[in-house]
Amino acid sequence: MILNDNHEIIGDCENITIADGKITFNLAINRQVEVPQSAFTDTDLKDYVGERVGIIHIGGVYRIRRVSQSSKKNLNMPEKEPVEE
């Protein structure tokens, strides 16, 4: 699955792999989401494995955020800024 612009997907992150210029997020919702490898160049993605995450694509920019287990309205964003496509 490729995340369209202005969309977000939320799920428990089980694994992240990087290959062939893509980052693949395996989410517990039985979906794999691919983003360009350049989308998170300075983010330590391993910190998100095992967490409930939201991956959002807005205006050509990807962001990843931790989603509170108790509230789906948590809008915390990562401390590090992603790189534009």
Q: What's the pLDDT band for 3 if we cut at 50, 70, 90?
A: confident
Q: What's the pLDDT band for 4 if we cut at 50, 70, 90?
A: confident
Q: What's the pLDDT band for 78 if we cut at 50, 70, 90?
A: very low
Domain-embedded: residue 37: yes
Which pLDDT does position 12 carry in this prediction? Answer: 86
Count up the domains in the chain and report the number: 1
Does residue 81 register a pLDDT over 80?
A: no
Per residue in 54-70, pLDDT tens?
A: 899 999 899 988 987 65
| Region class of 43: left (phi > 0), else alpha (psi between -120 and 50), else beta | beta
Domain-embedded: residue 38: yes
Domain-embedded: residue 39: yes
Question: 12: exposed, middle or buried (C-beta count within 10 Å: 0-12, 13-18, 19+)?
Answer: middle
Domain-embedded: residue 85: no
CATH number, position 44: 2.40.50
Q: Which domain holds residue 32?
A: 7-66
Domain-embedded: residue 24: yes
